[in-house]
Every structure is written in C-alpha cells, then in structure tokens.
Amino acid sequence: MWKKVRVFILLLVLGYVAIKAWKDLNQNWDQTIVVLLHPINADGSHNTENYIQQLNAQSFAEASEYLTASAKNYHKNTSFIFKIGREIKTLPPELPEHGSILSAILWSLKFRYYAWKETQSTDGYATVTLYLNYYDSNKYKVLKHSTALERGRIGVVNLFADIRQDQQNQVVMAHELLHAFGATDKYDLSTGQPIYPQGYVNPNQQPRLPQHQAELMAGYIPITETKSKIPLNLQQTVIGNLTAHEIGWSQ
C-alpha cells in the first residue's frame, strides 16, 4: 500500500516538473510577463545600500517599455511588468570562470537550489526572477559576467549601484532577461566582438561598418572588424530577427 502511495507521489512530482519544463520552453506571449527583481548589496557597502533603498518600479520603466514595444514590433500583444521584491542578504553562488561543463552544471544546480531556498510565498507570482547583484562603482570598474537559465526562468545580473549607470544597467538586465526565454549570445566569447551577420542590426548595410545600433544579444555596437562600443541605453539596441525567433516572437 505505502509503496503504491510513494510511487503515486513520485509520479505527481515528475509530472509537475515535466509540465513546468514544457511551459518554460513554450512561453505564451499573449500573457503579461511579470519580472520579479531581488536587489542584493553584493559588496556590503553603504553606498550600494543607499542606492538599493531608492529603487522603485519607475527605476525599471525604460526596460519595461522597451520590451513591450519590441514585442509589438513582432505582433506579440504582451507587456512586461517589473516588480521589486525583497532585498536579499545572501549572495547567489558565484559563476565559475573558465570552468568545465561539469562545473557549469554544478553551478546551475547550486543556483536553482539558492533560488528555491530564497523563494517565499509573499513574493507573489513571477514569470522570471532576477537576482540583481549591485556593486559600488567607486570600488568596482569591471563586473563579472551575468547569466540566466531558461529552465526555471531565473538569472543573476551584476550591476553598478550608480544612478549614472542606470540606463546601461537596463541594457544588461534586458539582455539577461531574454536568455531566460531562450535567446543566445550573438558575440564571440573570446573577443567580445558581435558575430556577423547575426550580431549586426543591419548586416546588409553598405558600407557594413560602422553600425549604429547594437543587437541586444550581441551587447555591443560594431565599429570596425576589431572594435565595438557599449550602447549607452536601450534605444541604441534592437532585438533582431534571430533573437525574436529564438524566444518565440517569430517563426
């Protein structure tokens, strides 16, 4: 009897996991996308804490409007709502640098456990949950790589706790958010240069370079074959056709 009960419970759990995985890979773009943001004082400084305390929904309005408008460009009637969740005191597991496939798998398991452990019933429903690691720009000039997982729809984003960096922060956040829906990077991992043609907004432009906007998943505006520049804001970026296809906005 108890064996049958255990088997039944196991089947229910496996069924839940399978359904959730299917939903993660098949987003319904007719629904509102709710993005839950958990700020984290990643360096423990007073400046970073003061910055976090002044965050509100308006702080992320540009990303919300940009993504909603971009979806409409591909005839998707969806909207993006960003909610600020609880400030979390525990840092997410650190992403391994130049690690092996095994270390990446282990990190993803640790990160999923971290996200599960930090989830509370008071957080409410979210399509995607992003953990925002903020760092004092007076102490940190370069931040480590951010990432997001499609299965589970969670991500960790490293950002500057500096109002002067707000617009570029939203570029980074939007980039990682699309990873959670299946978008792939469009830049060369070894050089950081956008890959032609998928990392170019106007690959048929003559002359090809310089480009004037960045494909969001390429992260940079190509200037020459070996040089590129960071977009200052989301208005200098475009969600290209390949990225739109990857996340389900186009066929």
Residues 61 and 162 in one domain: yes
Element (H, E) at 203: none
pLDDT class of 13 with cuts at 50, 70, 90: very low
Q: What is the pLDDT of residue 40?
A: 98
pLDDT class of 99 with cuts at 50, 70, 90: confident
Residues 145 and 193 in one domain: no
Instruction: Give CA–CA dist 72/67, Å, rounded.
Output: 9
**Is 147 within 8 Å of 95 (Cβ atoms)?**
yes
Number of domains in the chain: 2
Final residue before a domain boundary, out of 142, 160, 182: 182
Tell me if 28 is assigned to some domain: no
Residues 151 and 238 in one domain: no
Tell me if 15 is assigned to some domain: no
In sequence order, which residues have a C-beta less than 8 Å from that of residue 233 and are 6 or more positions away? 62, 167, 168, 170, 171
pLDDT class of 15 with cuts at 50, 70, 90: very low
Q: Which of 82, 238, 232 is nearest to 168 (CA)?
A: 232
Tell me if 11 is assigned to some domain: no
pLDDT per position as a tens digit, 22-34: 444 558 999 999 9
Residues 166 and 55 in one domain: yes
Tell me if 156 is assigned to some domain: yes
Residues 197 and 173 in one domain: no
Tell me if 8 is assigned to some domain: no
Residues 177 and 217 in one domain: no
Residues 170 and 211 in one domain: no
Residues 194 and 143 in one domain: no
Tell me if 4 is assigned to some domain: no
- Over range 215-234, report the average pLDDT: 97
Residues 145 and 221 in one domain: no
- Over range 63-90, report the average pLDDT: 97
- Percentage of the chain beyond pLDDT 70 is 90
CATH code where residue 172 lies: 3.40.390
Q: What is the DSSP letter of 122?
A: G
Looking at 1-10, 118-127, 207-216, which range is the least confident one? Answer: 1-10
Residues 83 and 126 in one domain: yes
pLDDT per position as a tens digit, 187-216: 998 999 999 999 999 999 999 999 999 999
Final residue before a domain boundary, out of 130, 155, 182: 182
Q: What is the pLDDT of residue 84?
A: 96
Final residue before a domain boundary, out of 164, 182, 200: 182
Q: What is the pLDDT of residue 98?
A: 76
Element (H, E) at 28: none
**Is 58 within 8 Å of 82 (Cβ atoms)?**
no
Tell me if 208 is assigned to some domain: yes
Tell me if 59 is assigned to some domain: yes
Domain range for 167: 33-182
Residues 124 and 38 in one domain: yes
- Over range 93-98, report the average pLDDT: 87
Residues 166 and 215 in one domain: no
